Amino acid sequence: MVDIITAKTAGFCFGVKKAVDKAFELADPEKKVYTYGPVIHNDEVIRRLSDKGVQLIDSEDELKLLEGGTVILRSHGVPKAIIDLLEDKGIDYVDVTCPFVKRIHDIVYKESEEKQIVIAGNPAHPEVEGIMGWCKTPADVISTEEEAEAYEPKDGRDVCLVAQTTFNYKKFEKILEIFEKKSYHVIIVNTICNATANHQTEARSIAEGADAMIVIGDKKSSNSRKLYEICSEVCPKTEFIQTVNELKLKQDGSIRKVGITAGASTPNYIIEEVQNYVRREF
C-alpha cells in the first residue's frame, strides 16, 4: 500500500471554474452557442461542451461570418478587437475572462499610451495574444533572462513590465531583478496569479518528498507543463499525463509515496480516476 499525496491546489482554479460553470450554464443544444477559442485548455471539457451543442470558433474570420447566437469569450481573454467586432455586429457575447487576466488588460490599456509594455510570457499563448490586443501601442514579449538582459525599450520609452498569469514566478523574480538594474525607468506589476504560485510551490514540495510524481493536465495547458517542469527537477520519476490511460508508471518495489497534482484546467473527475488507479495498482 503506497501513500498518495494529492495537492490541495490540484485542478480547477477560481477563474477556470467560473468560466467552465458559465459555459455549461449557457450550453443549450436548442440555441446557437459558440466559444471563441477553447474556453479552457482541456480537450475533455471541450468535448463535453460540444456534446451539449457548444461550437468552437477558432478564428476572427469565422467570427466575422456569424449571423447571430451567443459567443462565450475564453477564460484566457481575447484582444479588444474581438469585442469591438462582436459589438459592431450586434452579436451577444458573454465574457468569461478570468478577473486576474482582465486586471492585466486594464493595466496595459491604461499604461500603453505613455509607456512601452513588456510582457513576461509565451508569445504564442492566447493569454499573451489577448493582453497584446489591449495595448494601444505594440507590446514586447520576453520569455527568458537572456532576453531581459538584452532588452532595450524603443526610443528610450519608460517601461511597464507585466507577466502572463501562469509565468514561473522564480523566473519572473530574476527578470524583475535584471530590469531593476537597468537604467531606464520601469514600473513592474507582478500579475502572476496566486493560484499559479501556490500550485507551483505545493507541487515542488510534494515532489521533493515523493518517490514518484504524477502531473495531470492537457499537453496544451501551459500551467500544467510548468508543473511538470518543476516536479521533474526534484523527482526524476515524474510523469505528465492527460488521463489515467496514459500512465506508464509501474510499481517496482521502490515506490512508497506517490504525489499527484494537476493543472488548473483539469477536471476533478480525471484526478479521482488517477487516485483510484494508484490506490488499486500500487
The residue ranges that bind ligand F3S (CB under 6 A) are: 13-16, 75, 98, 100-101, 165-166, 193, 195-196, 264
Shortest Å distance, C-beta 126 to ligand F3S? 12
Q: Among residues 71 and 227, whose Cβ is nearest to ligand F3S? A: 227
**Cα–Cα distance for residue pair 8/242, rounded to 1 Å:** 19
Position with the least CB separation from ligand F3S: 15
**Cα–Cα distance for residue pair 108/62, rounded to 1 Å:** 27
**Cα–Cα distance for residue pair 250/264, rounded to 1 Å:** 26
Would you state the cell numbers that stand for residue 97, as one nine-digit string?
475572462
- Closest C-alpha to 222, from 138, 118, 143, 105: 143
| Angle in degrees, CA 182, 136, 134, rounded to 5 | 100
Q: Among residues 165 and 238, whose Cβ is nearest to ligand F3S? A: 165
Strand partners, 257: 3
Shortest Å distance, C-beta 77 to ligand F3S? 9
The 3-state DSSP class for residue 120 equals: strand
Shortest Å distance, C-beta 134 to ligand F3S? 15
Q: Among residues 20 and 71, whose Cβ is nearest to ligand F3S? A: 20
Shortest Å distance, C-beta 2 to ligand F3S? 29
Would you state the cell numbers that stand for residue 224, as one nine-digit string?
500544467
Q: Which of 127, 145, 149, 273 is catalytic?
A: 127
The 3-state DSSP class for residue 215 equals: strand
Other beta carbons less than 10 A from residue 63's beta carbon: 19
Q: Among residues 44 and 211, whose Cβ is nearest to ligand F3S? A: 44
Shortest Å distance, C-beta 195 to ligand F3S? 4
Q: Among residues 66 and 189, whose Cβ is nearest to ligand F3S? A: 189
> Assign residue 156 a region: left if phi > 0, alpha if psi is -120 to 50, beta otherwise?
left
Q: Is 114 a catalytic residue?
A: no
Residues annotated catalytic, as ranges: 127
